[in-house]
């Protein structure tokens, strides 16, 4: 059964198999988010738990988030 997380659907572990995962070059040993393109959007997972849940977003949703991040809307969450 899928679990709702903050309005998104958490796909069960292993459901992201076959995707080409990538992470930012800024990621360190503490872990990071990993992203993969899907047929209809973007999948996101925790690099520390690659067999854990995968969140899936539509392309429009993800594009809106990237635009907001570029505009600095989340800078206060970085502790600075």
Q: State pLDDT tens for residues 25-62.
A: 888 777 899 999 999 999 999 999 989 999 999 999 99
Residue 1 has pLDDT above 60, yes or no: no
- Three-class secondary structure of residue 2 per DSSP: coil
- The structure's pTM equals 0.72
12-20 long-range contacts (CB < 8 A, ≥24 apart) are: 12/53, 13/51, 13/52, 13/53, 14/51, 15/54, 16/43, 16/45, 16/54, 19/43
Tokens read off for 19 = 């995707």
């Amino acid at each position: 059964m899928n679990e709702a997380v903050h309005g998104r659907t958490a796909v069960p572990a292993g459901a992201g198999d076959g995707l080409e995962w990538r992470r930012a070059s800024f990621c360190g040993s503490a872990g990071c988010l990993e992203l993969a393109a899907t047929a209809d959007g973007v999948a996101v997972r925790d690099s520390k738990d690659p067999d854990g849940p995968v969140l899936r977003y539509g392309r429009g949703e993800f594009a809106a988030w990237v635009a907001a991040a570029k505009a600095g809307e989340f800078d206060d969450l970085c502790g600075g």
